[in-house]
Amino acid sequence: MTRMTFGPVFTEEGILFRLWAPLHESVSLKIDGAGLRPMRAGEDGWHRCTVEDARPGTRYRFALPDGLEIPDPASRFQPLDVHGPSEVVDLSSYHWKAGDWTGRPWEEMVIYEMHIGGFTPEGSFRAAIERLDHLQELGITALQIMPLSEFPGRYSWGYDGVLPYAPDSSYGRPEDFLALVDAAHERGISVFLDVVYNHFGPDGNYIPSYAPLFTDHHKTPWGHGVNYDGDGSEAIREFIIENAIYWITEFRLDGFRFDAVHAIKDDSDEHLLQALARRVRAAAGNRHVHLIVENEENDADLLQRDDKGEARLFTAQWNDDVHHVLHVAATDETFGYYADYAGDVGKLGRALAEGFVFQGEHMPYRGGRRGRPSGHLPPTAFVSFIQNHDQIGNRALGDRVLASSPVDAVKAVISIYLLAPEIPMLFMGEEWCAREPFPFFCDFDEDLNEKVRQGRRQELSRLPGFDADDLLDPTAPSTFAAAKLDWSKRTTSDMLDYYRTLLDLRHRRIVPLLKGAVGGGAVYRSAGNAIAVDWTLAENRRLHLRANLGNAAAPLLEPRQDDTETIFRLGGSGGGGLGPWTVIWSISAG
């Protein structure tokens, strides 16, 4: 904690409390059970006060001149939610069991996206620990946890957090999150955290009342942009960058998924994203730390590699393009943005071979150009999936449509994305074909709740097929309760063994080919519903995919070579062609 600019600090004289409030000449500290204490104001906008008898567990707030009492923006724990007092926490006393953990190389990653509240019936950090053995046996090597920053109310997706240093109290204490990370590391599982640096939630964000958090120079879907480049931006930038460093150093996380980086607006000489990646990597030292972006613009420049093939800034990006083509193939849904991926399985070939489908071409749904060339990047610069929180939750009913799709089609798309050289990501429960929905949910006061209902209705009404008239009430307790996984159904699933088999094959045969693999070594071809993709990977080995994503027979595209070893086959072939929903993976010497 002494390395951090924000939040309480343990000193020999007691605990130093700090608040950067340049909009006020005076601020007071209020310790629960005691009166107001004036804080020393500095010319730099900082207000400081050392309390000799404060200790871990002490609850406190800051009082502004108008009487408004606020939590610490760098609060480490909010036991009574976003409007309550902050609590002093000492994480240094935690005894790490996996103290020698340094992480895992990126090419070994099989990611599992999870929401702590929905992952188990209890919805807590401690309860999640009890399910880690299942994930280890499945072949998962990384958790990706949806945002934890303290949010208002009893439940939330987490993207409306307002106190980014405090794990939400509904999931347990910070020490419980430490225990979850430690338990994952004991099992060889990395832990990534989804963080939101493009906006703050609408309830409980007091920072604008005492500091220049926002700027009208930039606009985002949530209103004014965060002030990363205007007057006072140096402290705002430091607040965010140190937040990422805090998670990496104090909680020993293995990386992040950065939400909607295209909405982080910054005209500084060094964009926040560049500074953030640079300093997080420096803080991690020799540990494996991986940085993943969500980027609607498909900006391949963020994924550049150095001369050794290592990521300069960000390790990988969520690749929606792979999802969209596989989703269309398995479900026949062609409404909304899916229409831009329908009727051309060659787009899947391009996404697997080159990363993005749209690399500067016009995308009809967006009404403009999208993306930049990405074929020069290695396949591991992309994270592929057939489910995630967005693609499920941004449906009126939050339904997992793949769970009710034809089994042959589902198995085919699973075998493609789990064995492709891109990094695969599962969404919680997918491995046993869970049918529980994952609709959007949140819990504000009634005024904000009604605004959320109206906003979601308007948003979904723009998507043909996502009928806003069927929209679940995102603020109802029943909507959140419906999203919780039913673990009893895991034991009756035929799909679980299929996932285990594929992931075992991936770890044995695909992962060894990924270290040192470079971009520009893949080609693809398509004819009707048939695709062929060939990658040149490590040690000049060639990985081959031949697939038919349709209900009718399709051509093989070219004859099989004698030196090719088939490592996986689903479906049938004959007469020089591929049967319906056939997938064949093979390896050759190159």
Q: What number of other Cβ atoms are within 10 A of residue 373's Cβ?
A: 14
Compare 308 and 175 and report the one with higher pLDDT: 175
Q: pLDDT tens, 507-537?
A: 999 999 999 888 888 999 999 999 999 999 9
Q: Would you state the pLDDT for residue 459?
A: 80
Lookup: tokens for 551:
């209900």
| pLDDT for 343 beyond 70 | yes
% of residues, the chain, pLDDT over 90: 88
Q: What are the residues whose beta carbons fall under 8 Å from the beta carbon of 81, sequence distance 6 or more? A: 150, 152, 153, 169, 204
Read off the pLDDT band of 1 (50, 70, 90).
Answer: very low
| pLDDT for 337 beyond 60 | yes
| pLDDT for 542 beyond 60 | yes
Known catalytic residue at 259: yes
Read off the pLDDT band of 2 (50, 70, 90).
Answer: very low
Q: pLDDT tens, 455-497?
A: 888 887 776 566 667 788 999 999 999 999 999 999 888 899 9
Q: Which is catalytic among the residues 81, 259, 266, 443?
A: 259
Lookup: tokens for 148:
């934890």
Q: Which is catalytic among the residues 250, 254, 294, 321?
A: 294
Burial of 563 (0-12, 13-18, 19+ CB in 10 A): exposed
Q: Would you state the pLDDT for residue 187?
A: 98
Q: What is the Cα–Cα distance from 303 to 313, expressed in whole angstroms? A: 7
CA geometry: angle at 559 spanning 553 and 565, to 5°?
A: 105
- Mean pLDDT of the region 113-120: 98
Q: How far is CA 514 from CA 106, 400, 508, 541, 545, in A?
A: 9, 31, 12, 10, 16
- Mean pLDDT of the region 431-454: 95
**Which residues share a beta bridge with 565?**
587
Lookup: tokens for 437:
């929905």
Q: What is the Cα–Cα distance from 13 to 405, expressed in whole angstroms? A: 64
| 3-class SS shares of the chain: helix, strand, coil, % to 5 | 30, 20, 45
Burial of 571 (0-12, 13-18, 19+ CB in 10 A): middle
Radius of gyration (C-alpha) of the chain in whole angstroms: 25
Q: How far is CA 38 from CA 30, 35, 161, 453, in A?
A: 9, 10, 29, 43
Q: What are the residues whose beta carbons fall under 8 Å from the beta carbon of 282, sequence distance 6 or more? A: none
| Among the listed residues 201, 202, 226, the one whose alpha carbon sits nearest the alpha carbon of residue 215 | 226
Please name the amino acid found at residue 492: T
Can you give the length of the chain in residues? 590
Q: What is the DSSP secondary-structure string of 428-468?
A: TTGGGT------------HHHHHHHHHHHHHHHHTSTTS-G
| pLDDT for 334 beyond 50 | yes
Q: What is the pTM of this model?
A: 0.97
Q: What is the Cα–Cα distance from 140 to 112, expressed in whole angstroms? A: 7
Q: pLDDT tens, 136-177?
A: 999 999 999 999 999 999 999 999 999 999 999 999 999 999
Q: What is the Cα–Cα distance from 124 to 135, expressed in whole angstroms? A: 17
| pLDDT for 559 beyond 60 | no
Q: Would you state the pLDDT for residue 540?
A: 87
Q: What are the residues whose beta carbons fall under 8 Å from the beta carbon of 497, sequence distance 6 or more? A: none
Q: Would you state the pLDDT for residue 424?
A: 98
Q: What is the DSSP secondary-structure string of 278-332?
A: HHHHHHHTTS--EEEE--TT--GGGG-B-TTS-BSS-SEEE-HHHHHHHHHHHH-
- Mean pLDDT of the region 370-394: 96
Q: pLDDT tens, 220-258?
A: 989 999 999 999 999 999 999 999 999 999 999 999 999
Q: How far is CA 39 from CA 27, 48, 163, 495, in A?
A: 6, 5, 22, 60
Q: Report whether 144 contacts 257 (CB < 8 A).
A: yes
- Mean pLDDT of the region 190-205: 97
Q: What number of other Cβ atoms are within 10 A of residue 432's Cβ?
A: 23
- Mean pLDDT of the region 46-69: 97
| pLDDT for 65 beyond 90 | yes
Task: Indicate the average pLDDT of the chain.
Answer: 95
Q: Would you state the pLDDT for residue 467?
A: 67
Lookup: tokens for 461:
């009404």
